Structure 1
């Protein structure tokens, strides 16, 4: 008998304003590459990476969303089924940080998580390599504490602290997956004691 666990697939969503570096962070994490050639995401982009968390093999499906209003209608089908949401902003842009309030609100409305109060959010401040910073780590951390999110910051360009937020997203997403899998299957653990030939009428 094979005791190896089946791989778990987790859906991780990156949302935030256009130009904050969602694609760059995702590509640096998955493909270990960075380019200065900025290309706006048209609709959505998607990459995957497999990691091991404790004894679980986890395939992360990382979805990068367009940060422009004309593509936000895609949010409804895209957000649903997510196990963790990463809210990304540019530390040199106060506006991109302020916009996270609405991005988070939109995700909770359109994504319809089973337990909104317990859904895991990771807040990620990108472009720490730049000197013209407008959002302090203290300010970002304060907001994260208010909404119950975890805060990370780094630089896709300099490959600085890129792994940490994705690893935490995987851990949080896995917890979410296991929790709801147990909830959704728990009520099927009833053993039917009726004879096999009469089970089609069993009301147990």
Structure 2
């Protein structure tokens, strides 16, 4: 079970630190998604991100304190040089497109290829169709995006940073999946040493994502940084 933490970091002990990266074309709303999640803010006059920035938010997942370190970079080609450092250590990724701009969705395979060539092969990825508040201008159908996500084994949700729709759910989907994978790995390690407890509180719990735009990929093992 996951629950949202306060906006800003609490002073409690941190059990895990998970780095999640936001990628996608410029102006799809990556910075607004980050701002909504980290500070519950939205700015109508948001400027393009220059280079890289990251924000953190601490949440409680299954009674453990998890610090989400969310990295955001500009989608313009000229900032592509940041990639190797940007992806290093990332255990989760949000692949964002704008539902009103078909080109931003058509570029998703390229972003996914770049992500998979730079990041850990078992990184947890969610495809995010942002700006559902502009539904009357929709250029990418939910069905097209869902089909792509299923084919590539990605989670999928549509969001609105403006209306705060599914932003929390999208991040919790990724963070809870990472959390469950890490704890399953810990459980296997403990079992191999003869002191495991398969029925204990570290057993992975499947997250149920509300809404029709739901894709739950096959579970995979991965490596992750804990703190």
TM-score (norm 2): 0.74
For 1:181 and 1:83, locate their aligned partners in 2 and report how far apart those are by CA, in whole Å. Answer: 16
Which residue, 114, 125, 130 being the options, matches 1:126?
A: 130
For 1:79 and 1:33, locate their aligned partners in 2 and report how far apart those are by CA, in whole Å. Answer: 25
Q: Which residue is 1:155 aligned to?
A: 160
Point out where structure 2 has 5 or more consecutive residues left out of the alignment: 1-11, 194-227
Q: Which residue is 2:64 aligned to?
A: 56
For 2:181 and 2:72, locate their aligned partners in 1 and report how far apart those are by CA, in whole Å. Answer: 20
> Does 1:11 pair with 2:19?
yes
> Does 1:20 pair with 2:24?
no
Correspondences of 1:136-147 after superposition (within 5 Å): 136-147=141-152
Aligned residues: 181
In the TM superposition, residue 179 of structure 1 has moved relative to its aligned partner by 5.5
Rg larger for: 1
Indicate how the Cα distance of structure 1 residues 156 and 6 shifts in structure 2: closer, same or farther if over 3 A, else same.
Answer: closer
CA contact (8 A) 2:14 2:66 kept: no
Indicate how the Cα distance of structure 1 residues 105 and 157 shifts in structure 2: closer, same or farther if over 3 A, else same.
Answer: same
For 1:182 and 1:77, locate their aligned partners in 2 and report how far apart those are by CA, in whole Å. Answer: 30
Point out where structure 1 has 5 or more consecutive residues left out of the alignment: 190-204
For 1:119 and 1:24, locate their aligned partners in 2 and report how far apart those are by CA, in whole Å. Answer: 23
Equivalent residue of 1:129, what SS? helix
CA contact (8 A) 1:5 1:56 kept: no
TM-score (norm 1): 0.82
For 1:6 and 1:34, locate their aligned partners in 2 and report how far apart those are by CA, in whole Å. Answer: 27
Deviations 1:26-79 (A, max 9, x none): 101111111111311111111100111112210000001210111111010110
Task: Calculate the aligned-residue CA RMSD, in Å.
Answer: 2.2
